[in-house]
Amino acid sequence: MTVADDDLPRFPFSARGDEVAAQYRELPPVTRVRTNTGDVAWLVTGYDAARAVLGDARFSHSETARPGVPRQDTPTVPPEIITSMEVARSVGVRSEIMRALGPAAVEELRPLARATAGELLDGLVRSGPPADLFADFVAPLPTRVACAMAGLPFEDADTLDTWGQVGTSMSVHTPEELRASYEEYCAYLLVQTRAPRDGLLQRVHDVAVRSEIDVEQAVILAGAMFIVAQSTVGVLAHAVLTLLRDPGLMRRLHEDPALMPSAVEEFLRYALWVHDGIPRIATADVEVEGTPIRAGELVLLSLDIANRDPCAFAAPDRFDPARTPNPHLAFGLGHHYCPGTGFARMEMTEALSALVERLPDARLDGLAGRLDWHSALTIRRPVRIPARW
């Protein structure tokens, strides 16, 4: 180990999602850091550098599951889930999973998302301020839509959210705790396939039975798609906070609903919702923005910070609901583009449209400028979003 390695900054820098950590302002687009596990990694924060890594097949996601590679955290799920879409293809259920995440399925569930947003806001209005918009609006909506997509009962949403938080945690649980949580979740999924309820889990189960493939593995792979809800909860929380902090923005979107699709793209660019890095392992010696990266080294993509790169976005720290073009990297790029993007966009559009329509005067409550944030989740989430209207 060199002296330089001893002095490497520890990543991630801050769990706060309402400010860019000062360390980012001082770093080049590609730099060495030390992770939660003590391993050394390359942190990519530049927009062009991030696009280069995302578009280069020599940076592998599946390799991050291989034993002995450098890591940023204790693995929260078995390797087969990290490579879930590759495995889904091999066992013959990928097409069913992709169909459940596709445009037709998104539109089928849009009325549910709209109605759920309305019901949650009705409850807030009846109860009156103050309110916690995270617990009573942000968290329930994506989880309920994900339940409908998967074919899981709404009443299990809180339990599913707890499993999801463990599955998106950083190095805070023991391997035994992680394994126990994961096994509980898998057992739950298998029980649910015995209920006569339409949804992705049941359809994947039926495909596996007809195709004589491993039913348990197929169902668990489909269940891994539920993690999309955790990501949407995170970015939706940041969008709601941005609105509550900017009365002019809230009023503008209230008066001009047609601006919401563009605003959603800007929320996706602007939100600091990914706490850790998006991991890749170099499978060959590669040079990125003049920096040599060796085969076997860990690369962490900080897409939130890449989306604030002034070389790619004018006034990147300013929220502009009409920003165009807006080629953000919130969902990745190319082969590494998230398959759940349609659901995330739809849920955000319906949730935020309902919020600005029903509660256009909502504001953060009291001295809430310094919110508490969960410190050990890979998706940044505030503990509460206290609001008044």
DSSP 100-161: HTSHHHHHHHHHHHHHHHHHHHHHHHHH-SSEEHIIIIITHHHHHHHHHHHT--GGGHHHHH
Structure tokens at 62: 């599946």
Strands (E), the chain: 30-34, 40-44, 59-60, 131-132, 278-282, 286-288, 291-293, 298-301, 363-364, 386-388
Band of residue 92 on the pLDDT scale cut at 50, 70, 90 = low
- For residue 191, the model assigns a pLDDT of 87
252 CB neighbour count, 10 Å cutoff: 15
Most confident of 68-82, 147-161, 267-281, 363-377: 267-281
User: Following DSSP, what letter does each residue of 266-317 receive, concatenated?
Assistant: HHHHH---B-S-EEEEESS-EEETTEEE-TT-EEEE-HHHHTT-TTTSSSTT
Whether the CA torsion 296, 378, 144, 352 is positive or negative: it is negative
- For residue 25, the model assigns a pLDDT of 86
CA–CA gap between residue 299 and residue 31 (Å, rounded)? 10
Structure tokens at 262: 């563009």
Q: What is the mean pLDDT of the chain?
A: 88
Band of residue 367 on the pLDDT scale cut at 50, 70, 90 = low
Of 291, 369, 309, 363, which Cα lies nearest the Cα of 133?
363
Band of residue 30 on the pLDDT scale cut at 50, 70, 90 = very high
3-class SS of residue 25: helix
Of 276, 330, 289, 332, which Cα lies nearest the Cα of 33?
276
Start-to-end CA distance of the chain, whole Å, equals: 56
- For residue 384, the model assigns a pLDDT of 94
Bridge pairing between strands 131-132 and 386-388:
antiparallel
pLDDT, one tens digit per residue, over 49-73 is: 999 999 999 999 889 988 899 999 8
Of 101, 384, 336, 380, which Cα lies nearest the Cα of 235?
380
Peptide bond into 325 cis (omega under 30): yes
- For residue 330, the model assigns a pLDDT of 94
CA–CA gap between residue 214 and residue 221 (Å, rounded)? 11
Structure tokens at 325: 């073009």
Q: How big is the chain by its Cα radius of gyration, in Å?
A: 21
Whether the pTM exceeds 0.75: the reply is yes
Which domains, from first to last, does the chain contain? Answer: 3-388 (1.10.630.10)
pLDDT, one tens digit per residue, over 210-257 is: 877 777 777 777 777 666 677 899 999 999 999 999 999 999 999 999
For residues 305 and 20, is the Cβ–Cβ distance under 8 A?
yes
Mean pLDDT to the nearest integer, 103-111: 92
Band of residue 84 on the pLDDT scale cut at 50, 70, 90 = low
- For residue 168, the model assigns a pLDDT of 81
3-class SS of residue 238: helix
Q: Pick the residue with more confidence: 11 or 80?
A: 11
Amino acid at 155: E
pLDDT at 196 over 80: no
- For residue 3, the model assigns a pLDDT of 39
CA–CA gap between residue 141 and residue 233 (Å, rounded)? 8
- For residue 204, the model assigns a pLDDT of 81
205 CB neighbour count, 10 Å cutoff: 24
- For residue 158, the model assigns a pLDDT of 84
Q: Pick the residue with more confidence: 228 or 74?
A: 74
* Rounded (10°) angle between helices 140-150 and 227-244: 150
pLDDT at 306 over 50: yes
- For residue 98, the model assigns a pLDDT of 78
pLDDT at 189 over 60: yes
For residues 303 and 330, is the Cβ–Cβ distance under 8 A?
yes
- For residue 2, the model assigns a pLDDT of 44
- For residue 135, the model assigns a pLDDT of 95
Of 69, 59, 7, 79, which Cα lies nearest the Cα of 37?
69
Mean pLDDT to the nearest integer, 344-367: 94
